[in-house]
Structure 1
Amino acid sequence: MYIVTGLPYAGKSVLSRELVRRFGFGYASVDDEITSGRYDVTTMSQPDWNDVYSRAYDKLESLLRAGQTVVFDGASLTRSERRNLRTIAEQCGAVPVLVYVDTSPEETAERRLKNVSTRERAHLKGETMRTALGMFEEPTADERPIVYNAGLDLERWVEENVEA
């Protein structure tokens, strides 16, 4: 199981979908649950977020119990959230691997501004973005993250870090 973490607009979904496309992995996505639940991220309440995450976790567990390798695409901003995901993986007999999409706050801010016009993804309000930045706990060495950023050669990174 691959747990993908990083700031909003870091490129987590792009990397996650590429892994799913290349290897046929299962996919559990917070963004997909937002879309399927017809939520608007600009107006979501805490109970809405709880629902979205609960559904994404349920999908993750179902796929893992079916024996699939799964990419979990959510912000996974805090250590406790990542710990919960590792626990789910281990309870399902999967080995959790943390992938940190390391994109600077400055770059994510530029991508967010660009998204205002392109609408390539759901747009986060400034307040939501500030909350996410304040919540984010960069992975520590004891979490054993595999680091990816857009400056790396994707082919080589996949070859060195992803097991099909």
Structure 2
Amino acid sequence: MLIVMAGLPGAGKSAVAAELGRKLGAPVVSVDPIEAAMWRAGVTRSQPTGLAAYVVAEVVADGVLALDQTVIVDAVNAVEEARQQWRSLAARHGVPVVFVEVVCSDEATHRRRLEGRARQIDGFPEPTWEVVQRRRTEFAPWSHDRLVLDSVQDVPRNVSTVLGRLGAAS
């Protein structure tokens, strides 16, 4: 199965992805560390490293699916092209794809989490609240089904909700 996390930076998708990965014994392929690794390797930030990181994440997820294992992709997935990339990957492997969008309905909580987080991804600056607000306006409407989680709920509850959906999807 391919599980695709989506949502704005700081909304809580990585926390859900990490705990879900632990519960399922599934690897989590995260786009941000991939992009940071490109920069550390000398690829300039003026290059389309965001797009390239999605392509690398797809190749890694493809390899995991080829082993008949579940994989979780952790990325913003704000545009339809990114979402279609994951649907196509799942179709090539004949596995279900489940999209999980994580939102934070409390703007003050979202901002506090974003400004207080330190993921320690070497070379990857945390986005500012202004960047997140701009990304919000660029977030494309969804054209396909997805599970929406509110990170105001705690991670164990949200993971339990995802596990319930996965049982129905398999």
TM-score (norm 1): 0.80
Pairing 1:133–2:136 present: yes
Distance 1:56 1:104 in 2: 28
The residue that corresponds to 1:50 in the other structure is: 51
Matched residue SS, 2:84: helix
Distance 2:106 2:48 in 1: 27
The residue that corresponds to 1:120 in the other structure is: 119
The residue that corresponds to 1:162 in the other structure is: 166
Q: CA deviation at 1:111?
A: 1.9
Evaluate the alpha carbon distance shift between residue 136 and residue 64 of structure 1 in structure 2; reply closer, same or farther with a 3 A threshold.
same
Q: CA deviation at 1:10?
A: 0.7
Counterpart of 1:16 in structure 2: which amino acid?
A: A
The residue that corresponds to 2:90 in the other structure is: 89
Evaluate the alpha carbon distance shift between residue 138 and residue 103 of structure 1 in structure 2; reply closer, same or farther with a 3 A threshold.
farther
Q: CA deviation at 1:25?
A: 1.2
Bigger Cα displacement from structure 2, 154-163 vs 66-75:
154-163
Q: CA deviation at 1:145?
A: 1.0
Deviations 1:78-102 (A, max 9, x none): 2232122111111122111111112
Q: Percent identity?
A: 25
Q: CA deviation at 1:31?
A: 1.9
Structure 1 unaligned regions, length at least 5: none
Pairing 1:34–2:38 present: no
Note the 1:139-158 alignment, pairs <5 A: 139-140=142-143, 143-150=144-151, 151=153, 153-154=157-158, 156-158=160-162
Distance 1:28 1:59 in 2: 7
Structure 2 unaligned regions, length at least 5: none
TM-score (norm 2): 0.77
Q: CA deviation at 1:155?
A: 5.8
Pairing 1:111–2:113 present: yes
Q: CA deviation at 1:120?
A: 3.3
Distance 2:47 2:131 in 1: 12
Evaluate the alpha carbon distance shift between residue 14 and residue 109 of structure 1 in structure 2; reply closer, same or farther with a 3 A threshold.
same
Evaluate the alpha carbon distance shift between residue 159 and residue 30 of structure 1 in structure 2; reply closer, same or farther with a 3 A threshold.
closer
Cα RMSD (Å): 2.5
Counterpart of 1:160 in structure 2: which amino acid?
A: G
Q: Could you tell me whether the CA contact under 8 Å between 2:115 and 2:128 is conserved in 1?
A: no
Evaluate the alpha carbon distance shift between residue 52 and residue 100 of structure 1 in structure 2; reply closer, same or farther with a 3 A threshold.
same
Counterpart of 1:136 in structure 2: which amino acid?
A: F
Distance 2:140 2:129 in 1: 19
Size of the aligned set, in residue pairs, is 156
